[in-house]
A and B are shown apart, each in its own frame.
Chain A
């Protein structure tokens, strides 16, 4: 019964947060609205990181790569082909998925800290290419001056912070909802099983590399979609948006939120990004110090949340898990995924 109560309470909190996010643009100032829109886009990348890190058991520092692919594809489409938001979103998600598919051979057999380093390399290589492919990307100075996006054929372009924010919110809510639905299907069940014990999953006759590739491509599509939202929210993109610090902060945000939970990852990533952006505004010169202290404090304040991030990075332990797995780990992830 206790589970039931908690499930409802969590549902209520989620509904409350969503309601708060919907009314936010009429309550807060333009700055907060603009920052929220940008944060939502990054939090959506956090969701894709959680999908790989927590659900599929592949900690990643490379989701900035499909994120960047989506963003730049969106700009190209936006300035040359169509100003319709859903078109740009679809193209961006497609670009993210294609880039993820191209990198599948690199990551599909790797696990743990090896994935972390391979994805780091992929992210850095993509940023390097972006900085040098000036005819498309505008180089390290980035691209600005994209035409305003209209969400759908016949609708007016998004001209205010409120409008851009609401568009972002709708897209993020839709994509997160889709991800949650996906996790309730067979695919989600198999991903969780694979994270628990990949060898066992294989012994049952499942084609694990196929699942991993699928998850990687799906996460790439989500990150790509988030890229198109960044373009809308920020009206400017540059390789700096997709650098190592972004991917590191997203991974840490996801760790704070609980890697195995989509909702937690969304909140964690949003929180980390929002706090960082806010600190750079209000505490000039001391932002890294405070941010670092906050990370350390989080480990102490949120032990339960953080300790769910039980992705072991040592290659040797990527093999079968011990049957005497600690109960805390077992229980915590399960109710989360059904939220």
Chain B
């Protein structure tokens, strides 16, 4: 009897594999670009499970909100939105993007939370000639001819706030961040500019302290070092769970009275609820705040609040803007909006009116030239929220 077992399982395995393949191929195989019915396929890739699920969900909802408020159309064409899950990073993002680009043959791709995922998808964009209008992560790229971002470059928040910190803080500033590409870029943006304009870092060797990511859940030992350094303020960047841990532990540490400046993601969205009172008074720099006073933003926030609890985040805004970019580009691409035509049209959009204020794509980096705001966590009714307390620099290359 036992001799039959391998044969059984092997046969079953082969059968299952065959089923997977058949189902995989059975799905539609339309050509790229618009179909005869005048609709257009757009692919949205975002982390809908795993560590970055909350950001991914905001990105999906932001894009969907634009569609819902514009009759489900972009550029006058009905949109067939194909959503795929990016997961935790490139290892799952690449196959999912392959599906969108090579099986669903979408005319444009949007979303993508992680910088590594964007880097992994880039070769596919080059191969399929499809443009990406990314709404979050933006890695260092050699060739951006088909890559556009409505978010920011990772070193821009720090660059935008450096002058303000230099002017406000009497003394040296301690720089600390997570040990991965995003952390390095965010912190470098701050430290390079800050040192250039005469600021002094409190870190003992003059270099930013990087904490293992995502392994660090306990920041206490770092706080002891900050205390010992005698810093007058701290600049940091964390997002997600690490941001919650950092802020909560900071508020209970011996440096709780040292002013904390951060890239806005530290207190953005869901993490602010988890941080609670510990986040009070933190200063952050971001390209958006739901209390910005302009017509686009009032409409955006109202539409968002009608569907969701709480205020929209910068993630949702960037995705909403990605939809707006595609709306105008598809409209401008003429009667046959091929991926190539859409890509060309994006490059000619000029100024884009947005809830964050007007911005435009930089011709060299294909990411926004936009204004940054200084925000502080303050009481707003019953909840805490990021309140704009001033304008910072307009940044973009």
Contact = CB atoms under 8 A, between A and B. Distances in A.
B12 interface: yes
B113 to A, nearest CB: 13
Contact of B115 (A141, A281, A288): A141
Contact of B7 (A6, A35, A285): A6
Contacts of B182: 140
Interface string A233-272: 0111010110101100000000011100101100110110
A140 B179 CA distance: 9
Contacts of A9: 7
B287 interface: no
A256 B99 CA distance: 26
A142 interface: yes
A20 interface: yes
A310 interface: no
Interface stretch (A26-34, A47-55, A78-86): A26-34
B29 interface: yes
B25 A236 contact: no
Given A245-B88, A275-B20, A141 B29 contact: no
Task: Give the bracket for the number of chain A residues in contact with chain B.
Answer: 35 or more
Main secondary structure of the interface of A (DSSP, over half): helix
Interface string B168-184: 00000000000111101
A281 to B, nearest CB: 4
A140 B116 contact: yes
A285 B57 CA distance: 9
Contacts of B143: 145
A258 B6 CA distance: 8
Contacts of B303: none
Interface residues of B, number: 62
B103 A29 contact: yes
Contacts of A305: 5-6, 8-9, 12-13
Nearest to A305: B9
Contacts of A138: 119
B355 interface: no
Nearest to A260: B6
A137 B319 CA distance: 30
A141 B3 contact: no
B91 A240 contact: yes
A302 interface: yes
Contacts of B50: 288
A142 B116 contact: yes
Nearest to A243: B91
Interface string A304-339: 110010000000000000000001101110011001
A288 B83 CA distance: 16
Contact of B49 (A28, A258, A270, A287): A287
A238 B120 contact: yes
Contacts, number: 200
Contact of B142 (A128, A145, A287): A145
B254 interface: no
Nearest to B89: A240
Nearest to B28: A29
A246 B13 CA distance: 20
A206 interface: no
A264 B91 contact: no
Nearest to A273: B95
B218 interface: no
Nearest to A239: B116
A29 B100 CA distance: 12
Contacts of B256: none
Contact of B90 (A29, A241, A274, A327): A241
A283 B23 CA distance: 13
Nearest to A3: B3
A264 B139 contact: no
A139 interface: yes
A144 B120 contact: yes
Nearest to B182: A140
Nearest to A263: B10
Interface in A5-40: 6, 9-10, 13, 16-17, 20, 24, 27-32, 34-36, 38
B120 to A, nearest CB: 5
B92 A335 contact: no
Given A24-B21, A267-B14, A280-B95, A258 B9 contact: yes
A28 B25 contact: yes
Interface string A143-162: 01100000000000000010
B10 A280 contact: no
B49 A288 contact: yes
B94 interface: yes
A141 to B, nearest CB: 4
A195 B336 CA distance: 64
Nearest to A33: B102
A263 B120 CA distance: 30
Contacts of A339: 6
Given A31-B102, A305-B8, A335-B6, A141 B119 contact: yes
Nearest to B6: A336
B116 A238 contact: yes
Given A277-B92, A285-B85, A327-B2, A240 B116 contact: yes
Given A17-B14, A131-B180, A30 B103 contact: yes
28 contacts: A2-B3, A10-B6, A24-B21, A31-B99, A31-B101, A31-B103, A34-B102, A35-B98, A139-B181, A141-B116, A141-B119, A145-B142, A234-B94, A238-B119, A245-B91, A256-B13, A257-B9, A267-B10, A271-B13, A281-B84, A282-B99, A285-B53, A288-B49, A305-B6, A305-B8, A330-B2, A331-B2, A339-B6
> Which 9 A-B pairs give the minimum distances between C-beta atoms?
A305-B9, A31-B103, A285-B48, A304-B5, A277-B95, A240-B89, A281-B99, A31-B102, A284-B85
Interface of B: 2-14, 16-18, 20-21, 23-25, 29, 48-50, 53, 83-92, 94-96, 98-103, 115-116, 119-120, 122-124, 139-140, 142-143, 179-182, 184, 212
